[in-house]
Amino acid sequence: MATTTKSVKKTETKPASKTTKNPKKKIRIVPPTIAVIPDKTKRLVSGIKPTGQLTLGNYIGALRQFVKLQDELSDHEHFIFIADLHAITTPQDRLELRKNIRSVAALYIACGLDPDKVNLFIQSEVAEHAALGYIMESTAYVGEMERMTQYKDKKGKQTDGIRTSLLTYPALMAADILLYDANVVPIGDDQKQHLELTRNLATRFNNLYGETFVVPEGFFPETGARIKSLTDPTKKMDKSGDNEKSYILLLDDLGLIRRKIKSAVTDSNGIIKYEVRNKPGISNLLQIYSSLTDVSVKDLEKKYAESDYATFKDDLAEIVVDAIRPIQQKYFEIINDTKLDEILNQGAERAKVIASRKMFKVYKKLGLGRIR
């Protein structure tokens, strides 16, 4: 399916023939082995958790970047997955989770990911993710995991029943990336610390057991790296946030989106200026506006120098609605189509080829199992 996909070439090496021409020459009998020539393609990997419906933050910070990169990095093979194993680090309703997994898959396509260019798949359908996740837990130290700010944040939101996987999921994230020898990992800046950990784990493993993993690079979008909550603009817009006015869902009713923007928290000074510390609300709205239109924040400040917040919010509401409308149209076309299943099957199949090859190598380096 993927245009950049190169299948594994298998070449049979012929046994050396027993020759009588030169009797002094040592006869070397080479067993008929299968030499696997790895494909040279560079790879990009990323994913989104199906913990709820996707937000405008996910779109600006992640989805839109994936879409841009599928064309800009056409020399890479792209693996974009639905991170359902990550979702169960916190309690999920079984039926909701199933629904969300499919919804994220459909949104990938609706936002412009092209299954001919990108391998789209569900993480749990490629068992090697969990297998390498465990190996990464056996490479990481507890102290490292406890230092992760996402863990501290998420743990702080729960009173009891904190799952062990909430602590260890950065090891699974490292596995997600290292399985594919990803060179490029497009992520929001909330994931920077986890990527750093991944790099450390890859380097540690390579030092302990010999060269096995490619040490990946992060890729951070220039604008819109972190869209803030509409009700508390000092916090990130989160799909698992409690206040539904704090986020815009890509599948929200368009009228509701307008209302959410118009009621976004700002300040009382009335000047449209980007000043994150003193004016976090209006700065966040400027950031959203700029990300969706590619007009710089500076130019927006000039354009709205004489305007009030209400006018600015009205314009922004239309810009957001115009960006989301076509996504919703495409989403409803594909969500119940069996084509979506075909796309996910093909993606998983290709992912398994790469992932199983890597796991074989990892087990061998560690001395696990038997040599076969």
| Binding-site annotation, residues | 49-51, 57-58, 176, 188-190, 227
Radius of gyration (C-alpha) of the chain in whole angstroms:
24
Under a CB-based contact definition with an 8 Å cutoff, are residues 115 and 109 in contact?
yes
Q: Residues 99, 154, 235, 245: which is the catalytic one?
A: 154
Nearest approach, Cβ of 334 to ligand ATP (angstroms)? 20
236 is catalytic: yes
Binding residues for L-tryptophan: 176
By C-beta, is 237 or 272 nearer to ligand ATP?
Answer: 237
Nearest approach, Cβ of 223 to ligand ATP (angstroms)? 10
The closest residue (CB) to ligand ATP is 61
Q: Where are the alpha helices (DSSP H) in the chain?
A: 56-58, 64-72, 84-87, 94-110, 128-137, 142-146, 149-157, 164-178, 192-209, 254-262, 280-293, 297-303, 309-334, 338-366
228 is catalytic: no
Residue 182 binds ligand ATP (CB under 6 A): no
Residue 218 binds ligand ATP (CB under 6 A): no
Distance CA 243, CA 268 (A): 22
Residue 70 binds ligand ATP (CB under 6 A): no
Residue 48 binds ligand ATP (CB under 6 A): yes
Nearest to 166 by CA among 176, 180, 156, 175: 156
Of 52-60, 107-115, 277-285, 313-321, which segment contacts ligand ATP by CB under 6 A?
52-60
Nearest approach, Cβ of 182 to ligand ATP (angstroms)? 14
Helix then strand then coil, % of the chain, to nearest 5: 50, 10, 40
Under a CB-based contact definition with an 8 Å cutoff, are residues 282 and 309 in contact?
yes
Of these, 49, 102, 129, 194, which contacts ligand ATP (CB under 6 A)? 49
Residue 310: burial class (beta carbons within 10 Å; 0-12, 13-18, 19+): exposed
Q: Residues 236, 279, 313, 358: which is the catalytic one?
A: 236
Residue 39 binds ligand ATP (CB under 6 A): no
358 is catalytic: no
Residue 187 binds ligand ATP (CB under 6 A): yes
Buried b (16+ CB within 10 A) or exposed e, 189-201: ebbeebbebbbbb
Distance CA 256, CA 68 (A): 28
Residues in region 238-267 near ligand ATP by CB under 6 A: 238-240
Distance CA 343, CA 74 (A): 19
Q: Residues 21, 26, 155, 239: which is the catalytic one?
A: 239
Of these, 188, 218, 280, 347, which contacts ligand ATP (CB under 6 A)? 188
Question: Which residue ranges make up the site for ligand ATP (CB under 6 A)?
Answer: 48-49, 51, 55, 57-58, 60-62, 187-188, 190-191, 226-227, 236-240
Show which residues are catalytic. Answer: 154, 236, 239
